[in-house]
Structure formats: C-alpha cells, structure tokens
Amino acid sequence: MRKVIVSVETTLNGVMSVADWSFPHSQERMDYSRELLFSSDAILMGRETYDVFSTYWPEKEKSGDGTTGEEGFAERINSIAKYVASTTLKEVKWNNSHLIKGDVAQEVSRLKQQPGMNIVMYGAGPVAHTLVQHGLVDELHVQLFPVIAAINENSTRLFNDAGDIPALKLMETKPLASGIVIHQYRFGTNA
C-alpha cells in the first residue's frame, strides 16, 4: 500500500504562512527535498497550494533553474500526477493534474490502494487535517526553522486549532547545519 507523507515547513511556534523566515536552500535541504519528491509518484494538495504551485513550478521548468538547483526537480514536480482537493475549482490546467471534488478521504483511500510510490502533500491545511482524521496520513515530516514568527490574523499554524491529532511516533531527526531540524513522524496505528 502506498504511503501518504505530509511535509511542512514551520517556525518554532508552529507558523507555516510567513514568507520572511524562509532560509536559502542548502545542499542538505536540496538533498532532503529531492529524496522526498523522487520517492513519490503523486502530489496531493488543496486549492491554495495548487494555486501557488501551478504558477510557480511550470515557470521554473521553463527557466531551467528548478529552484533547488537539482537537475530534474522542476521537471519531476511538473510531470508527476497531482490530485487537487477543492470545492471551488471548476478545472485544473497544470500538467497531469486531477480534481477531487467529492469525498477527499474516499478518493485518497482509493489512491493508496493503487500500486505505486509514495503520495506527498506539501503543507498541513484543512485537507491534511481531514486525511489525519480519517487515518489516511502515514507520516508527517516537519522542517522546523529556528525562528519565532509573529502571529496575526493572516497566520496559518500547523494543524491550526486541531485537538484531535493522534500521538505520533518519532522515526528520525535530521539536524541541518543551517539550524533547521527535520523531524519525521509516523501516525497512530501506523506507528
């Protein structure tokens, strides 16, 4: 069975939606990002992530820089299957994208049963929370940035206001020279 891996970048106080704390990509982060993407053959996302990725990544492939400096990264993210859970989008135009308009948990359960590699989801918004509630997320990878961010009305926090996240089992911790620490957890019954 395929695994669903949710990957997030967050500050020490759980803020995910801040642009000014991003660190430059180090070789260590590039290696991690590449390993995660290339161990997957599908990306799962909500509408907000789709809106950002579908404009950003096709342009990176055209420019040839791939953002992370790794040859083939932008090409990979643009070519693999992408599943977009949305109640507002009418269509998805990004290459190899598929719209999930109905029951996202049911569709992801079906995807997990299909043969293939991992399914990666970048970000932990409402779609990720729904999948956690249905026991469909296997791993959570947290890139913890060594900064504290101000919290305001525009802040999005890791599993914001969720009180129903099950206990996680730490699988691995990777401290990077930049001070970022990558924690890899396994969820509940999969622990």
Residue-wise DSSP of the chain: -PPEEEEEEEETT-B---STTPPPPPHHHHHHHHHHHHTEEEEEEEHHHHHHHHHHHHHHHHHT-TTTS-TTHHHHHHHSEEEEE-SS-S---STTEEEE-S-HHHHHHHHHHSSSSEEEEES-SHHHHHHHHTT---EEEEEEES------TT--BTTTT---PPPEEEEEEEE-TTS-EEEEEEEGGG-
**Per-residue pLDDT tens over the stretch 106-165:** 999 999 999 999 999 998 888 998 999 899 999 999 999 998 888 777 777 777 666 677
Specify the length of the chain in residues.
Answer: 191
Could you give the C-alpha distances from 21 to 10, 13, 113, 143, 148, in angstroms and in order?
9, 12, 38, 12, 9
Is residue 135 within 8 A of residue 188, CB to CB? The reply is yes
- At residue 69, the pLDDT reads 46
The CATH number of domain 4-190 is 3.40.50.1370: no
- Tell me which range, 28-37, 74-83, 148-157, 182-191, is most confidently predicted by mean pLDDT: 74-83
Lowest-confidence pick of 6-20, 38-52, 139-153: 6-20
- At residue 160, the pLDDT reads 67
Q: What is the mean pLDDT of the chain?
A: 86
Two tokens, residue 162: 């969720």
Rounded-to-integer distance, Cα 17 and Cα 96, Å: 27
- At residue 66, the pLDDT reads 46
Lowest-confidence pick of 75-79, 156-160, 165-169: 156-160
Confidence label for 26 from pLDDT (cuts 50, 70 and 90): confident
- Asked if residue 67 has pLDDT above 50, the reply is no
- At residue 91, the pLDDT reads 94
Q: Where are the domains of the chain?
A: 4-190
- Asked if residue 92 has pLDDT above 50, the reply is yes
Q: Compute φ and ψ for 117, nearest 5 degrees.
A: -90, -170
Is residue 67 within 8 A of residue 73, CB to CB? The reply is yes
Which residues, listed in sequence order, are joined to residue 5 by a DSSP beta bridge?
120, 139
**Which of 36, 5, 1 has its CA nearest to residue 124?**
5
More confident residue, 27 or 36: 36
